[in-house]
Amino acid sequence: MPSLDMERVPENGSDCETADQSEEESQPKKVVNKKKPKKRGIIYLSTIPPYMNVAKIREIFSQFGDVGRIYLQSSAKPGEKRKRVPNLFTEGWVEFEKKRIAKSVAANLNNTKIGTRKRSRYYDMIWNIKYIPRFKWIHLSERLAYERAAMKQRLRAEISQAKKEANYLQNNIEKSKKIKKFKAMEKESA
């Protein structure tokens, strides 16, 4: 069995230098290049034209750089049936892989026409884009989760209120039936 050379640290806590340590210190230390993760940039679209969806937005913004995630807020309320109306979105967020590209897209496209051709359905519409500094996708996720939780809580409160009202009405109906029965019995006995 091969012997294992292990450094022992003295119990009294004093520093001791071994031959291996002095050799390591004399050699230049290698610097490990750790690349910083590229900072992503997020732009906010305050209005989304009718008939525009995630695929169309990805197609438009991919011309300027790598597009990461896209989220479009639907105008339909939860639980509402979808009509045969085009996809209507109220607002949206687009994440670019590079912050610099997101800034330039927001600066260059804000207040410009969406469609360039006259026959385009977006010809008369204008982009309203804003770069959001120090905003991360997790902030959006947290906001959406909070809104979902608040919506569930509101629905639970509405359901419990409706149940209370239904129980109250049911109790009043039963009381009125008993009173009518009681009055009918009094008339018969009198």
Largest Cα–Cα separation, the chain: 119
Report residue 31 as tokens.
């610097």
- β strands within 32-134, DSSP E: 41-45, 67-74, 89-96, 129-131
The yes/no answer on whether domain 41-135 falls in CATH 3.30.70.330 is yes
Helix/strand/coil percentages in the chain, nearest 5: 40, 15, 45
User: Rounded CA gap, 149 and 141, in Å?
Assistant: 12
CB of 45 closer than 8 Å to CB of 128: yes
pLDDT in tens, 79-132: 666 666 666 888 888 999 888 988 888 888 888 888 777 887 777 788 888 888
**What's the distance, CA 70 to chain centroid?**
10
pTM score of the predicted model: 0.57
Please choose, from the candidates 109, 81, 90, the residue with its C-alpha nearest in 3D space to the C-alpha of residue 50: 90
> How would residue 185 be classed by pLDDT, with cut points 50, 70 and 90?
confident
